[in-house]
Amino acid sequence: MIPPSSLAQPVMFTQTRALLPGIMLCGVIAIAATFVSEHYGGPQFLYALLMGIAFHFLADSEKCQPGIELSAKKLVRFGVALLGARIVASDVSDLGLAGVGALIGAVALTIGFGILMARLLGLPSMLGLLSGGGTGICGISATLAISSTLPATRENERYTLLTAIGIAIFSTLAMVLYPLIVKHAGLSTAEAGLFLGGSIHDVAQVVGAGLIISPEVGDAATLAKMFRVAMLMPVVVILALTFHAERKKTATAGSKTPILPMFLVVFAGLAALNSLGLLSHQVVEASSTVSRWCLVTSIAALGVKTSLEKLAELGWKPIVLMSSEAIFIAGYMLLVVYLGRVFGA
């Protein structure tokens, strides 16, 4: 009689072999996007998206499809889980009560504005939720995290990719334009940091915009931005609980759908450990690097799965939606800065 363990090894080998072509395809796209971004500038995620779309013809390939699906759905959760290592609770005290309140308001109001604006434009509320969450919290990382709590449907995948493309574009525009607003408005270092960190979508663009002005503004902007990243946890927990029943309906037969996905538990655990000072700098850096690679590979997979024709069917309204969300959060943060001047004087 053949031992069960000897049967398990060929099965695992066969499954791994089936996944490799798709995973390697998405990995190569992620490496190429990273190379172009590091050597020629520009947003890494946007390059991964566009390069992935160029390989859409492989989306239905029997060899590549399993690995592409795994990269699009599983890697994103692993990447988001590791983001928890970047959260430090002590950063909250450095912002002050007014700053914390303003940033919480920015996240909540932008998500609400996105849902409302989507309805006014006749777009699905899910698109408003994804784009509002991505704009209000931490860009593409938040979009992917929110998407993982929603029912796994083709429509939600399209909305996720569309949001990721829009956020990559508007975040890059903000990095270039918002420092000009800071100089024109004569904002102080603290005000500039709060405005940039509270209104620009992605962490990398926040750092870039701050450093355009000065290293001090860069540090202040990064602090404000990291608090917005920390808001990802409560928002995603709320959404996971809200959409739990709907996720169960779209789950594959026989699979269990936990109330809180495991990646959220890991995210919270890493955030707690880092806040207690139990994670070394090397561990935090390694977690951030692995997280970014997972997210870039996942967004490349989403690009491969997406047809430009289907995106074009959505028309001009999503552009209006995401541009209005970017204007809303920037206007809100400028209002916060000016109110701080009035009441702080």
26 located within any domain: no
Residue found under tokens 């500039």? 192
Helix extents (H) in 121-231:
125-136, 140-147, 154-185, 189-199, 203-213, 215-230
- Distance (Å, whole) CA 252 – CA 82: 26
User: What three-state secondary structure class fits 214?
Assistant: coil
At residue 257 the predicted structure's pLDDT band, cuts being 50, 70 and 90, is low
Residues with Cβ within 8 Å of 297's Cβ and at least 6 positions away in sequence, in order, are: 23, 26, 27, 29, 30, 48, 71, 75
Alpha carbons 97 and 212: distance in angstroms, whole number: 27
Residue 259 is part of which domain span? 42-56+75-344
Instruction: Say if 61 falls within a structural domain.
Output: no
pLDDT band at 7 (very low <50, low <70, confident <90, very high): very low
The answer to whether 236 and 205 are in contact (CB under 8 A) is: no
| Mean pLDDT estimate for the chain | 84
Is 63 within the bounds of a domain? no
In a domain, 23, yes or no: no
**Residues, the chain, total?**
345
Tens digits of residue pLDDT in 176-207: 899 999 999 999 998 999 999 999 988 778 87
Domain count along the chain: 1
Query: pLDDT, tens digit, for every residue of 200-243?
Result: 988 778 877 887 888 888 888 888 888 888 888 889 889 888 88
Q: Assess if residue 275 is contained within a domain.
A: yes
Nearest to 307 by CA among 44, 29, 25, 54: 54
Which among 169, 321, 165, 144 is positioned nearest to 239, based on CA atoms?
Answer: 144
27 in a structural domain: no
| Band of residue 271 on the pLDDT scale cut at 50, 70, 90 | confident
Distance, CA of 22 to CA of 29 (rounded, Å): 11
Tell me what pLDDT residue 132 has.
95
In a domain, 62, yes or no: no
Let me know if residue 308 belongs to a domain: yes
In angstroms, what is the C-alpha Rg of the chain? 20
